[in-house]
Chain A
Amino acid sequence: SQKIEQNSEALNIQEGKTATLTCNYTNYSPAYLQWYRQDPGRGPVFLLLIRENEKEKRKERLKVTFDTTLKQSLFHITASQPADSATYLCARPSGNTGKLIFGQGTTLQVKP
């Protein structure tokens, strides 16, 4: 079955450092992966989409990679700030359907 696995342990880093979050998937490579941010008491907010044929995508301080050999996506936040503290979710489509399967999310805590 198709699964998305994210490190369930919280990631604690110092302000200014680069945060790197990992998303591993099973089964065949999806056509794309998506990353979301979720703050406590709020719904997830879409951040980035990366397609299978894109090795890397950037948006401001965010960078996402897609490695089909390792079956892995990495999500980087450079020059991290306390405001970046949140839970980050990785998601993949389920086959050719319109639905997304989400990972459990990794909580990032950026300390000043």
Chain B
Amino acid sequence: DAGVIQSPRHEVTEMGQEVTLRCKPISGHDYLFWYRQTMMRGLELLIYFNNNVPIDDSGMPEDRFSAKMPNASFSTLKIQPSEPRDSAVYFCASRETGVRGGYTFGSGTRLTVV
């Protein structure tokens, strides 16, 4: 398995533009998580899905952020409009039901909003 695949790896955009981050979880994993990491706040959970259904989006900063999971192999995180304070590394992670194993993280998308 190629692991959790995120794209793009880097994204530089201008303030006000729409940004879409993509994630392909590991096949068979029924949980998918979106995290954001900054030096100040560390790893923060934004939203997570179970069997493609959003379960908890309480970490989504505001209405500018939205996430979808149209099927078991694909998820997007969209920011519209983007702001400089959204600059961070965004990670997608997946896991299967049960607690024997941990999360498998993707390599992340480094977002810079100028």
Contacts and interface: CB of A to CB of B under 8 A. Distances in A.
A and B form one complex: yes
Interface residues of A, number: 24
B105 A44 contact: yes
Given A49-B100, A97-B56, A99-B56, A43 B105 contact: yes
Given A32-B99, A42-B107, A98 B43 contact: no
B69 interface: no
B105 A98 contact: no
Nearest to B40: A104
A100 B91 CA distance: 13
Contacts of B31: 98
13 contacts: A31-B99, A44-B105, A46-B102, A46-B103, A46-B104, A49-B101, A97-B56, A98-B31, A98-B48, A98-B50, A99-B33, A101-B45, A102-B42
